[in-house]
A = this chain, B = another copy of it.
């Protein structure tokens, strides 16, 4: 006799995609779709109410709570369900945030459906799954120590992406222009750029900010 089906909660803000996932997963062997959520808030609520085995979570959820935050809240509960992230992007920042938030696995939407089914089952047993491109990035990160920015540098960068000048950034963060310049220099070095425009481009490209 087969083990009981994995009870699954699907969270994705795009109704069409969500409906597609429900239709797809509903027909998968050994998987039972327990519910669906269109926002992070809803996912957190339903995770408690429905007590599924696995939550399939998109990271980009439009307005409101994002997928990483929802994952954090869901996995914080005692006897929490496993969270399997299913998203489009494989940037370092996204992966890191998801894993730190307690995700059990990280799958790309570009993955084959069979891989998704397998990952859901694996997650139910607490076994992690990473899409190959994601695994590559994790490995690469291991090898190259830390290309990441400090908290303060991210603050500066955030202001920079608003198009503010040094004086305005200084005022916004209650520090001197000199300090702003110091941070900017380090940011340029870390990002491998020479100008503020380049820094903004890299920041947006690699999603370095929330």
Chain B minimum-CB-distance residue to A10 = B20
Decide yes or no whether A94 CB sits under 8 A from chain B: no
Interface size class of A (residues with CB under 8 A): 35 or more
Which B residues are in CB contact (< 8 Å) with A202?
163
With contacts A27-B23, A204-B204, A204-B205 taken as known, whether A162 is within 8 angstroms of B16 at the C-beta atoms is no
In the complex formed, the residue of B with least CB distance to A21 is B20
- Of B13, B27, B88, B196, the residue contacting A14 (CB under 8 A) is B88
Copies of this chain, count: 2
Q: Does A143 sit at the interface, judged by CB under 8 A?
A: no
Chain B hits for A199, CB < 8 A: 163, 197
Report Cα–Cα, A17/B22, bound state, in Å.
Answer: 11
Q: Give the chain B neighbours of A91 by CB distance below 8 A.
A: none
Which residue of B is nearest A14, CB measured? B109
Cβ contacts A87-110/B at 8 Å (1 or 0 each): 010000000000000000001111
Interface string of A143-160 (1 = CB under 8 A from B): 000000000000000001
- Contact yes or no, A116 B201, CB < 8 A: no
> A44: shortest Cβ distance to chain B, in Å?
20
Quick one: which of A54-110 are within 8 Å of B by CB?
Answer: 62, 86, 88, 107-110
Residue A113 at the B interface, CB < 8 A?
A: yes
- Say whether B14 contacts A113, CB under 8 Å: no
**A178 in the interface (beta carbon within 8 A):** no
The yes or no answer to A140 lying at the interface (CB within 8 A) is: no
Please name 8 pairs of A and B residues whose Cβ atoms are closer than 8 Å in the assembled complex, sorted by A. A19-B113, A20-B21, A162-B198, A164-B197, A196-B197, A197-B199, A201-B204, A204-B205
Task: Apart from A16-B107, A16-B113, A17-B109, list 20 A-B contacts with CB within 8 A.
Answer: A13-B110, A14-B109, A14-B110, A15-B111, A15-B112, A16-B86, A16-B109, A19-B113, A20-B20, A20-B22, A20-B24, A23-B24, A23-B26, A163-B194, A163-B198, A163-B202, A165-B195, A195-B196, A196-B196, A204-B205
